[in-house]
Structure 1
Amino acid sequence: MRSLFENLTFSRLFLGRLVTNAGDSAYAVAAMWLAFQLGGSSFYTGLAGFLTMLPQTLQFLAGPLVDRWRIRRILVGTQLAQGIFVLTIPVAYAMGWLTVWVVLVVMPILSLLNQFVYPAEQAALPRVVDKDELVEANSAFSFAYQGVDFAFTALGGIVIAAMGAIALYLVDSVTFLAATLVFLGVKIPAAESQSNGEETKEEAENEDPENVTSALDDYLAQLRDGIDYVRGSILVWVLAGSLVVNAAIGSTLAVLPAYAKAHGGSDAYGFLLAAVVGGMLIGSLAASPLERFSLAALSIGGFLFGGVVWLAAVAAGWFPATLGLFFLAWIPVGATNVIFAAMIQSVVPEHLMGRVSSVLSSASVGAMPLGSLLGGLGGDAFGNAVVMTTTGFGFLCIALCWLIHPQLRAIATLDDLGGEEYGLSTAAGAEPSESF
C-alpha cells in the first residue's frame, strides 16, 4: 500500500477524505442528538433521518454531472458550501432562533450537497491508480472514512455531554474549510475515453443559452446510460438485498438516540455509533486478504454472522456486551463494501463511472428514508428495542438473497464478472455518449 501514497494525487485525495469525513462524523452525531434533544422523541430523530437520507436516493441525478464537471471543482465547491450551512446552526443558537425545525431544514441541504462528493471520489480513483491497486485504494479510503468516523463519533458523544452539540457544529465548520483547502491542490486526469481534457470541458460549460434544451436532452441520455447499465446486469439482484437491510438500518438510526438515552445518554450514543463504525473499519482493513475468497461466500457467511450477532447484541441487556456485539456485527459490512466498490470500478468503463456509482448508491439507500421515518414512529409505538431487532433480520435477508439466487451464489472472484451471463461485459463495451 506504500506505493499508493507515493502517488501525490491519491495522497491529497486521501487527506481530503480524512478531513471531510471528520466533519461529516462530527456533524452526524451533533445533528441527530440535537434533533432528539430539541424535539424530545424518536419521531423527530426518525424525521431527521428521513430528511437526511432522502437526498441520497437522488444521487443518481448527480452522476451525469460528475462525469461532466471537473472533479476538483465538485470537491472544493461542496466542502465550502457545507461549511457555510453548518455555521447557520451556531448563528441561530446565538440569536435565540434555534428550534428543531431549523435543524431539520439544514440537515437535508447538507445531505444534498454531499451527494456529489462520493461519486466524484469514486470516479476519481480509477483515473489516479492502476487497476490492480483498486482494492487497496478502496480499502485505504474506507479506512479514512471508517477510521475517522470511529474516532469522531466516539468523541462526539463525549463532547456533546461536556460542551453541548453546538460546539460540534463549530468544529465541523472548521473541518469543511480545511477540506476545501486540501482539495484545491488536487488535479484529476480526464477519463481515458474523453477526447478532450477537463479544460475543454470547462469551456463547454459556457455554452450558448439557446442550447439549453439540447444540453438537457444529452443529460437525460447520459442518465439513462447509467440506469440501463445497472438494470441490465447482475447488480440489480445485489441491490435487492441491500434495500431490505438499509430499511432496517434506517429504522435503527432513528431510535438509536433514545436507545442510548436509556443506557447513559449522549456519551452512550457516541459509543454505540463508534462500535458500529469500528466494526466497519476492521472489515475494510480485512478486505484485501479476503479478496481471494468467493464473493458469494463472503456475502452469505458474513451477513449470516452479522445478523445473528446483531440480534444477540439487542438481547444482551448489558451495555458493554451490546457494544462488543455491535462491533462484530458490522465487520462483514465493512469488508464487502470495499470489495464491491472495487468490483464496480474494475468492470465499469471510466466514462460511465460517475453515473453508475451514483445510480447504485441511490438505489441501495432508497429504502433508508422510509425506514427511518417508520422507525421513529415504531419506536414511540412499540419500543426502541423492537425496532432495533429488525436490523438483525435485515442482515439475514441479505444472506438469504445471495443464497437463493443462482447467479449470485455462483460468483467467485472479481474476474468472473466479465462473463456475458452477468450482463457486465456487454455494458462495459458500450460506446460513451456524447459529452454535453
Structure 2
Amino acid sequence: MSSSAPPVDRPARRGGLWHHLDFRRLWIGETVSQFGTMVSQLALPLLAVLVLHASTFQVGLLAACESLAFVVVGLPAGAWVERMRFRSVLLVNDLVRAALFASVPLAQLLGVLTMGQLYVVAIATGVSTVFFDVAYQSYLPRLVDRELLVEGNAKLQASESVSQIAGPSLGGALVQLLGAPYAVLVDALSFLWSAGWVRAIEARPPRPETDPDRNLLREIREGLAFVLRDRMLRAIAACTGSANLFASMAGAVLYVLLARQLRLSPGVIGLIGSTSAVGGLIGALVAARVAARIGQGPAIWIPIAVTGPCALVVPFVQRDWTLALLAAAQVVMWIGIVVYNITQVSFRQALCPPHLLGRMNATMRFLVWGTMPAGSFLGGVLGTTIGVRGTLLLAGVGSSLAFLPVFLSPLRTMRELPVYAERASGDESDAGLVASES
C-alpha cells in the first residue's frame, strides 16, 4: 500500500471489515442504491414495452443507451477521476442520478413522457455511472488494506446479490401497484440514501497533486498501456468484454420475450429476475473458498466455463415448466459469474500501482463495458430480423465460449497471482510485482 495514502481504521485488520466504520458506510449506501437500481432495470424496459408500446428495436436501442457512455467517456473518465477526490465524485454522481430518475415520474405526471426522454435519461445516467464506478473501484483500495480487498469485494458483491434477489420482485410489485413510471422514483430515492452514507465516510485520502504538465492524452495512453501490455489483464478484458457483448444481446430482447410473447405479468418477470441473484449470493459467499481450493487463476476461468452454457436454456423457454428450468439455469450461471468477477476484480486492484488505479479501472471498464451498447444494438437489430428466440440462441452460444481468452492465458494454471508491492521506503520507483504469499 502506498505510504502516501494509507488506509484509515487499521484496527480493522484484526476484526476484518465488519469493524471498519467507513467501509460499512460505503457498503450500506451501495446496498440500498442497488435495491433501487434493480427496480429501475426492470421498470424502464417494461415502461417502454407496456406504456410507450416501443418496438423490439426501440427496446434494444434503450438498452444500448444505458451503456453507451462506457464507449464515449470511458477512457478519459479515469484520468479525470484521478484529479478529483474519490469521495466527492461518488457523492456528486449519486445526486445526479437521483435527479435524472426523478424526472421520469414527473414527466409521466405531466403527460409528456416519451421514448426520447428515456433515451436521454439512459445516456446521462450511464455517463454518471461511469464516473461513479471508476471512483468506487479506485476508492476501495484506498479505504481498506490490500489483504482485505477480496473480503471487501465479496461483501459488496453479496449485498448486490441480495438486492438482485429482492429488487426485481419488489420492482415487479411496484410496477403492478404504482405503474412503471412511478416505480422508477424508488431508484431516485435510493441514490439520495446512498449519497447520505457516502457523505458520512470520514476517510480523506490526500487531494491529488496539481501538476501543470499533466496531459490528458498521455495519461489515457498510460492507462491503456498498463492493461494492454499485461497478458493476464488482456485475457480478462477479452473474456469479460465478449461475455458482456452476448449478455447485452440477450438482454435487449429478453423482456420482449417475457412480456410481449409469453405475456407474463411484471410480478412474475420480477420473480424470474430474482432467481439469478440467488446464484449471485451463493457465488459471493463461496468465492474466497473456491479460490483457496482450486487456485486464484483457475478460479477465474473454471466458473465461467462451467456455468456459461446455462445461457442456452433461455431461447427455449415457454409458458410452462421451462420457466422453472430457466430459473435454475440462472442460479447456476450467476454462481460462476460472481466467483469470476470477485476473483478478477480483486486481482486487478492488487496488481495495479496506486497512482494508476483510476486509469486502470477506466480502461478495463471501457474495454469490457464498451461492448455492451454494440451487443444491445445488435440484439435489437437481430430481434427484428431473425426473431427474438434466434437472437437468444446466438447469444447463448457466444456466452458459452466467452471463457476461452482466460483459458488460453497463463491464468489457466496459476494458483497464486502476482500483486503490486512497494518497498518499505514507499518509493514507487522501487515498486514491482511480487508473488502473492496468500
Q: TM class by shorter-chain length?
A: 0.7 to 0.9
Q: Determine if contact 1:306/1:392 at 8 Å carries over to the other structure.
A: no
User: Would the alpha carbon gap of residues 218 and 427 (structure 1) be closer, same or farther in structure 2, given more than 3 Å must change?
Assistant: farther
Aligned equivalent of 2:289: 289
Answering whether residue 227 of structure 2 is matched by residue 226 of structure 1, we say: no
- Return the match for 2:410 from 407, 415, 418: 407
In angstroms, what is the RMSD of aligned CA positions?
A: 2.5
User: Would the alpha carbon gap of residues 271 and 379 (structure 1) be closer, same or farther in structure 2, given more than 3 Å must change?
Assistant: farther
Scaled by the length of structure 2, the TM-score of the pair is: 0.86
Query: Distance between the aligned counterparts of 1:380 and 1:397, measured in 2?
Result: 25
Q: Determine if contact 1:13/1:183 at 8 Å carries over to the other structure.
A: yes
Q: Determine if contact 1:251/1:387 at 8 Å carries over to the other structure.
A: yes
Please show how residues 189-268 of structure 1 align to structure 2 within 5 Å. Answer: 189-190=204-205, 197-198=206-207, 204=210, 217-234=214-231, 235-261=233-259, 262-263=261-262, 264-268=264-268
Amino acid at match of 1:240: A
Deviations 1:356-411 (A, max 9, x none): 011101101221111101111212222222222233322322233333x2524333
User: Would the alpha carbon gap of residues 227 and 187 (structure 1) be closer, same or farther in structure 2, given more than 3 Å must change?
Assistant: farther
Give the C-alpha shift of residue 333 in structure 1. Answer: 0.5
Higher mean C-alpha displacement, 76-85 vs 387-396: 387-396
SS of residue paired to 1:69: coil
Query: Distance between the aligned counterparts of 2:430 and 2:275, measured in 1?
Result: 39
- Return the match for 2:374 from 370, 373, 381: 370
Query: Distance between the aligned counterparts of 1:101 and 1:183, measured in 2?
Result: 32
Amino acid at match of 2:282: I
Q: Determine if contact 1:256/1:269 at 8 Å carries over to the other structure.
A: no
Query: Distance between the aligned counterparts of 1:278 and 1:372, measured in 2?
Result: 25
Amino acid at match of 1:31: L
Q: Determine if contact 2:347/2:419 at 8 Å carries over to the other structure.
A: no
User: Would the alpha carbon gap of residues 286 and 377 (structure 1) be closer, same or farther in structure 2, given more than 3 Å must change?
Assistant: same
Q: Determine if contact 2:16/2:148 at 8 Å carries over to the other structure.
A: no
Answering whether residue 135 of structure 2 is matched by residue 135 of structure 1, we say: no
Q: Determine if contact 1:50/1:368 at 8 Å carries over to the other structure.
A: yes
Calculate percent identity across the aligned residue pairs.
25
Amino acid at match of 2:299: L
Please show how residues 419-434 of structure 1 align to structure 2 within 5 Å. Answer: 429=432
Please show how residues 28-427 of structure 1 align to structure 2 within 5 Å. Answer: 28-37=41-50, 38-57=52-71, 58-190=73-205, 197-198=206-207, 204=210, 217-234=214-231, 235-261=233-259, 262-263=261-262, 264-292=264-292, 293-315=294-316, 317=318, 318-403=322-407, 405-415=408-418
Aligned equivalent of 1:422: none
Higher mean C-alpha displacement, 350-359 vs 23-32: 23-32
User: Would the alpha carbon gap of residues 313 and 169 (structure 1) be closer, same or farther in structure 2, given more than 3 Å must change?
Assistant: closer
Query: Distance between the aligned counterparts of 1:428 and 1:64, measured in 2?
Result: 21
Higher share in helix: 1
Higher mean C-alpha displacement, 291-300 vs 68-77: 291-300
Amino acid at match of 1:290: V
Amino acid at match of 1:222: E
Amino acid at match of 2:94: Q
Deviations 1:98-140 (A, max 9, x none): 1122111111111111111122121111112122111011001
Deviations 1:168-217 (A, max 9, x none): 12212211111111111113342xxxxxx22x75xx5xxxxxx9xx56x5
Deviations 1:220-244 (A, max 9, x none): 2222221110011021122122222
Give the C-alpha shift of residue 314 in structure 1. Answer: 3.7
Amino acid at match of 1:248: F
Q: Determine if contact 2:75/2:366 at 8 Å carries over to the other structure.
A: yes
- Return the match for 1:27 from 13, 22, 40: 40
Higher mean C-alpha displacement, 145-154 vs 128-137: 145-154
SS of residue paired to 1:269: helix
SS of residue paired to 1:413: coil
Q: Determine if contact 1:18/1:145 at 8 Å carries over to the other structure.
A: yes
Query: Distance between the aligned counterparts of 1:330 and 1:179, measured in 2?
Result: 25
Give the C-alpha shift of residue 65 in structure 1. Answer: 2.0
Query: Distance between the aligned counterparts of 2:88 and 2:178, measured in 1?
Result: 35
Higher mean C-alpha displacement, 165-174 vs 131-140: 165-174
Query: Distance between the aligned counterparts of 2:382 and 2:389, measured in 1?
Result: 10
User: Would the alpha carbon gap of residues 16 and 233 (structure 1) be closer, same or farther in structure 2, given more than 3 Å must change?
Assistant: same
Query: Distance between the aligned counterparts of 1:54 and 1:428, measured in 2?
Result: 36
Q: Determine if contact 2:170/2:270 at 8 Å carries over to the other structure.
A: yes
Q: Determine if contact 1:12/1:183 at 8 Å carries over to the other structure.
A: yes
Amino acid at match of 1:47: L
Q: Determine if contact 2:249/2:379 at 8 Å carries over to the other structure.
A: yes
Q: Determine if contact 1:161/1:266 at 8 Å carries over to the other structure.
A: yes
What is the total number of aligned residue pairs between the two structures? 405
Give the C-alpha shift of residue 62 in structure 1. Answer: 1.1
Scaled by the length of structure 1, the TM-score of the pair is: 0.86
Q: Determine if contact 1:30/1:168 at 8 Å carries over to the other structure.
A: yes
Query: Distance between the aligned counterparts of 1:319 and 1:427, measured in 2?
Result: 57
Higher mean C-alpha displacement, 380-389 vs 226-235: 380-389
Query: Distance between the aligned counterparts of 2:145 and 2:132, measured in 1?
Result: 21
SS of residue paired to 1:115: helix
